[in-house]
Structure 1
Amino acid sequence: MPESYIIDAVRTPVGKRGGALAGVHSADLAAHSIAALVRRTGIDAGAVDDVVLGCCDTIGSQAGDVARTAWLVAGLPDHVPGVTIDRQCGSSQQAVHFAAQGVMSGTQDLVVAGGVQNMSAIPISAAMLAGQHYGFSTPFAESPGWRARYGDQEVSQFRSAEMIAERWDISREEMERFALASHERARTAIAEGRFKDEIEPVTL
């Protein structure tokens, strides 16, 4: 079986909600990283078999297959296809898995994989409410099959977090300490230049 390798990794800086990157179109954010990846690796962009991006709110600037849109916005060959996938918070990781599987199966040789999400422009879970104009209060509530199995219980990250905390007896204070430590480690790593080869600055 062929082996798959991650050749390089590029991302934009992480922006704050409503911050400097808030007004940048999602396709342009992804295109920025894709263009940098192609430039840095020196690959033949025309030899890319597929572009796979994860995105869990594919509406507005993230609709219409943002993976394909971002590739084209980056000015890259228009014969290269793209696909956007939604596995919620695991979407970008799944994109990398699918890319690896394509290479390992022998059906693909070179795949660009990653993710994009501008949560200032498209708030988290916005896609869950986007169907209300068409008579769907949520993606689940109007399904008789869903109601028969799960009733009308809340479906959200908040409820999921509560269920996880209850099952494994995790306190809010423990999670707050963990979250703070995670952010502190990230800020320290950035200040020490540990991500300098990964973060591609965005000039506005």
Structure 2
Amino acid sequence: MSQFASDVLVYDAVRTPKGRLRRGGGTLADVSAYELLATLLRAMQQRGLAADLVEDMIIGTSTAAGEQGGDVARAAALWAGWPDTVPGGVVSRLCCSGLDAIGTAAAKVASGMHDLVLAGGVESMSRVPMLFDKPAFAFEGELQNATGYVTIGVAADLTAADAGLTRSDLDAYAVRSHHRSAAAPASDSVIPISSDDAVVLDRDEGARPDATLEDFAALPTLFGEDPSWDLVARQIPDSRRPEGGLHTIGTAPQLSDGASAAVLGSARAASTTGMRPIGRILAATQAAVRSPRLTAGVQAARDALARAGITAANLDVVEANESFAVSPLLVERELGLDPDIVNPCGGSVATGHPLGASGGTILVNALDQLARVDGEFALLVIPGGLGLGAAVVVQRV
């Protein structure tokens, strides 16, 4: 039933709470990226992982610069006090980085290359802002034209307009996300962040239980007059530019700080580690469309379901990263999903999208929710800039 020749099992999956950006009074703004990740590594040891058995670490980081540059995976492992023998590396695929890390780790296990691999992601957007690495595609005119790169919010507005989604549709979705996030149950898979032996954050920041449609409807749009629309007009002459724009600060993903980590392994790893698997990776896919559209997540999701040998009707949980409100709405509509199973505990427009960490974060959320509802299959999907998309199908065991 899986695209993989042999079982790829999930033995543990954890994440930090998501913290607001520094300018929003974020609690994690003074915690380094390597400390966020190291906190999870230490926690996994306390939960039963023998670190010396980990044969590789693959960590997704969108902006691999500053304290997140120079192989933050290896640095965090050493900072956490892990054995010198544990290697580590970084993958960077913009917003899809964390799911790419999980897919790459799964492939290593399935191939027989390794029996136990840690995969996840980290992003401290307070300390290493998006585009801090000055990527050429965003700043050099010829390459920008060739890649179709535009302000990501313009891409979201374009995608929503093409899909016929209205400002009201987006606002209503965001209010739903806030309400669900605020009501989300506590989880042992969310590892508190401490300082001087005192817990400073133990749940996601940002959710507004009192959010109303009237509040969100009153917010100004962000991207209606963005100069990137000129490039869109050149790239896609028949594109629909929504008058005044569609997304607002309320329907955009909140920028945030966080980390995630999962232990993937072969069936043999159960006997060597003494750990019990909680899930199975059935498929991991990547897709791309012509930028600036944000529709590749839908194609990646379809491919992942096909490779896993199931259909959307088999899904009990869908974690569609809220890379603007348009993204989950598009997945919901195109796959014919019941809204009740899509992001049942809210998502990034309420509590933040820590870029490279988001893939592992939605894996944790999906496994938690499968356990709550006694479900079997979950779909994880993330669209990214430059027309990228990624998806993973996981089965609870």
Counterpart of 1:4 (choices 3, 8, 17) is 8
Match of 1:165 in 2: 160
Say if 2:67 is the partner of 1:61. Answer: yes
Q: Matches of 1:28 and 1:77 in 2, distance apart?
A: 16
Q: Evaluate the alpha carbon distance shift between residue 177 and residue 126 of structure 1 in structure 2; reply closer, same or farther with a 3 A threshold.
A: farther
Counterpart of 2:34 (choices 10, 27, 30) is 27
Structure 2 counterpart SS, 1:116: strand
Q: For the Cα contact (< 8 Å) 2:138–2:149, is it kept in 1?
A: no
Match of 2:121 in 1: 115
Gaps of 5+ in 2: 196-397
Match of 1:52 in 2: 58
Match of 1:199 in 2: 190
Match of 2:326 in 1: none
Q: What is the CA distance between 1:162 and its match in structure 2?
A: 2.2
Q: TM-score, normalised by structure 1?
A: 0.84
Match of 1:17 in 2: 21
Q: Matches of 2:171 and 2:99 in 1, distance apart?
A: 25
Q: What is the CA distance between 1:37 and its match in structure 2?
A: 1.4
Q: Which moved more, 1:16-25 or 1:172-181?
A: 172-181
Match of 1:185 in 2: 180
Counterpart of 1:71 (choices 77, 91, 113) is 77
Equivalent residues, number? 188
Q: Give the partner amino acid of 2:18.
A: V
CA-to-aligned-CA distance 1:26-81 (integer Å, 9 cap, x gap)? 000011012111220x2321121111111101111111111111111110011211
Q: Evaluate the alpha carbon distance shift between residue 148 and residue 184 of structure 1 in structure 2; reply closer, same or farther with a 3 A threshold.
A: closer
Structure 1 counterpart SS, 2:171: helix
Match of 2:232 in 1: none
Structure 2 counterpart SS, 1:99: helix
Q: What is the CA distance between 1:90 and its match in structure 2?
A: 1.3
Structure 2 counterpart SS, 1:64: coil
Q: Evaluate the alpha carbon distance shift between residue 157 and residue 148 of structure 1 in structure 2; reply closer, same or farther with a 3 A threshold.
A: closer
Gaps of 5+ in 1: 132-137
Q: Matches of 2:85 and 2:159 in 1, distance apart?
A: 44
CA-to-aligned-CA distance 1:112-151 (integer Å, 9 cap, x gap)? 1111011111222322x3x6xxxxxx3355485x46745x
Identical aligned residues as a percent: 36
Counterpart of 2:95 (choices 72, 89, 93) is 89
Q: TM-score, normalised by structure 2?
A: 0.45
Counterpart of 1:125 (choices 131, 138, 142) is 131
